[in-house]
Amino acid sequence: MAAAATSAGAAISSMITLMRKQSFRSDFVPLMDYSQDDTSSENLEWMNKPVVKYVFRLTGLLSFISTCLNTPKTFEYHPFLQYTTFIIDIFCAIILTVEAVAKMKTGGLLVGDSAYLRDRWNHFDAVMVLCIYFSIVLQALELIYVVNKYTYFTIIRAPRPFILIKVLKTFLKFELPKSQIKSILQRSSSQIYNVTMFFLFFMSLYAILGVQFFGALTFHCVRNGTDLNNVTKSDLMIPDTYCSPTKDGFTCPDNFMCKKIDIPRNLRGYNGFDELATSFFSVYESASQEGWVFLMYRAIDSLPSWRAFFYFITMIFFLAWLVKNVFIAVIIETFAEIRVQFQQMWGSRGAPS
């Protein structure tokens, strides 16, 4: 991993150095500039002014900061930020809407080569604007106590941090022939697609295996004489312990018995292997290497331990190690190829004067 990170750092450093060297060439003509939107139309000349670009850049950054501040603890410690983020979101929504409307008015919405919805960056901007509007409506309903704070509706704020891409896009500038950029992107996207399919295959495989190997783990150690229709926390072992009714897993100590108890999801958690959807989520959680050991201990206590050992060891190997390293290798290869393209182009142009 250290070697991979070093290689990636070297590739990025070389790219930056080469791009800086290009600026010394007085006869260099930019062949492709991916840093800005296509605003070559006469009606959009005002969008190419430095002040306007800085405003759009600042808008994306403000929206990102507003999303970072929108947390329960932040508003609990600093209540005034609840109104501050609301005002910032309204400001960002207005600025980004003006940008989108200007592009639609000039190029059209659907008809024409320069139509707004024919550009993928415009698709991205439109999704970000919609997320901001949804967030504004949700926060307004929260402020007037129509909707409880931090309900499931807050999931609509999840895509908003991606607006940082809009900020970074204004700083990145690739001066390469369009054919070379297209070739690099096609090759890298194909490799990323293959890695993604590889990852989803193992995710689906282990989700199905989890349901078949373990199923619903519902046996717990409870005190002798417990009313199974009215189980309280004081009736369970501390901490709550899973057990096996067939003596293949954990055996409850004296004064406790192993019984099947149906504990609600909001109390026992939303992971497990009850059905395919929950199992898929549990596999994803385990692949992130966050909390997977608790799932393994639960399976060891409830069923023969060899199942848990085989399942989790192989899953961590394929999903958490193999796929991760393959993905890192693809990223490093992409950066290395871009560096080679810059070196070849720089060599064909000669040394700087």
DSSP secondary structure of 144-202: TTSS-TT-GGGGGGTTGGGGHHHHHHTT----S-HHHHHHHHHHHHHHHHHHHHHHHHH
- DSSP code per residue over 274-337: SSHHHHHHHHHHHHTTSSHHHHHHHHHHHS-HHHHHHHHHHHIIIIIIIHHHHHHHHHHHHHHH
Tell me 123's DSSP state: H
Average pLDDT estimate for 243-251: 86
Q: How open is the CA angle 133-135-140, to the nearest 5 degrees?
A: 95
Find where tokens 């970074």 sit: 168
How confident is the model at residue 20, as a pLDDT? 45
In a domain, 118, yes or no: yes
Same domain (yes/no): 155, 207: no
pLDDT tens-digit map of 82-95: 999 999 999 999 99
Q: Are residues 70 and 199 in the same domain?
A: no
119 and 210 both lie in a single domain:
no
Catalogue the long-range contacts made by 224-229 (C-beta closer than 8 Å, 24 or more residues apart).
224/255, 224/256, 224/257, 226/257, 226/259, 228/259, 228/260, 228/261
Residue 196 lies in a domain: yes
The whole-number average pLDDT for the span 134-161 is: 86
Please tell me the distance from the alpha carbon of residue 144 to that of residue 137, in angstroms, as a whole number: 11
Beta bridge partner(s), residue 223: 256
Q: Could you tell me if 162 and 210 lie in one domain?
A: no
Q: Which pTM value belongs to this model? A: 0.57
Residue 38, SS3 per DSSP: coil
Question: Bigger pLDDT: 1 or 111?
Answer: 111
Token duo for residue 242: 């899973």
Q: How many domains does the chain have?
A: 2
One domain, residues 100 and 204? no
Examine the domain organization and report whether 101 and 134 are in the same domain: yes
Residue 168 predicted with pLDDT over 50: yes
**What mean pLDDT, rounded, does the chain reach?**
78
Radius of gyration over alpha carbons of the chain, in Å?
Answer: 27
Q: Can you give the residue range of the structural domain that contains 51?
A: 45-173
Whether residues 197 and 337 share a domain: the answer is yes
- 212, amino acid identity: Q
Q: What angle do CA 184, 8, 68 make, to 5 degrees?
A: 95
Same domain, 205 and 101: no
- Residue 231 is assigned to a structural domain of this protein: no
Supply the pLDDT for residue 324.
78
Residue 279: other Cβ atoms inside 10 A:
25
For residue 236, what is the DSSP state?
B
For residues 209 and 282, give the distance between their C-alpha atoms in angstroms, rounded to a whole number: 12
pLDDT value of residue 232: 83
CATH code for position 280? 1.10.287.70
- 110 and 152 in a single domain? The answer is yes
Q: Which of 139, 157, 169, 171 is nearest to 63 (CA)?
A: 157
- Residue 214 belongs to some domain of the structure: yes
Question: Does residue 346 carry a pLDDT above 80?
Answer: no
Q: Which two tokens stand for residue 176?
A: 């390469």
Angle 326-332-336 from CA coordinates, rounded to 5°: 140
Task: Decide if 71 is inside a domain.
Answer: yes
225: nearest Cα among 255, 254, 250, 262: 255
Contact call for residues 208 and 343 (beta carbons, < 8 A): no
Q: pLDDT value at position 83?
A: 92
